[in-house]
Amino acid sequence: MIQAIVYTSNAGTTEQYAKIIGEKTGFPVYSLKNACGLAAGTEIIYLGWLMAGIVQGYKKAAKLYTIRALCGVGMGETGSQIEDIKKANTVSDSMPVFTMRGGFDIKKLHGIYRFMMGVMRKTAGKKLSEKTDRTPDEDIMLDMMMNGRSYVSEKNAATVLDWLGKEQQNNII
């Protein structure tokens, strides 16, 4: 039975999603860094921010706990990138994987991440800004990159909340 939500966040959006899910379900929420109160093998939902397609902290969390569902928080559209994430993170086919659009704000980044995304803005951002036939999703990505935005919302967590609701019901019955 799922007992907790564990997350790794850098700029805060993944933490916000973990807290939204915690509030809605009643599960306690822990940062992976401070999850020492949780017994090894505890069944959890894990949320990590996406860096170059890798769910940060997933490998470590998978060694410590039993992950029942994996959530990646990134700049991409909610529900996108799922197959790529499964592959890049060598997640088993049976693992439920969810993605949620977090946010992006270069001012909230430090050190190497700020540098990397500064380069990304100058390359991918410039390319996108010059593109004349941007899709609505590309418009959002460009706006996020250049102006800083957060898309954290309960609506973006609806799919994982639905799945969790069904899990909780199955455990009661």
Ligand X SMILES: Cc1cc2nc3c(=O)[nH]c(=O)nc-3n(C[C@H](O)[C@H](O)[C@H](O)COP(=O)(O)O)c2cc1C
Longest dimension (CA), the chain: 56
Sign of CA dihedral 61, 69, 18, 172: negative
Q: How many CA atoms lie within 13 A of 42 on its CB side?
A: 19
27 vs 57, beta carbon nearer ligand X: 57
- CB of 80 vs ligand X, minimal distance in Å: 8
Using alpha carbons, select from 69, 57, 49, 56 the residue that is nearest to residue 4. Answer: 69
Provide, rounded to whole angstroms, the least separation between the CB of residue 144 and ligand X: 8
Q: What is the identity of the amino acid at 71?
A: C
Shortest distance (Å) from residue 21 CB to ligand X: 14
Is 98 a binding residue for ligand X by CB under 6 A? The answer is: no
**Considering only residues 27, 103, 157, 164, which one is a binding residue for ligand X as defined by CB under 6 A?**
103
Task: Point out which residues bind ligand X (CB under 6 A).
Answer: 9-15, 49-53, 73-76, 102-104, 109, 113, 116-117
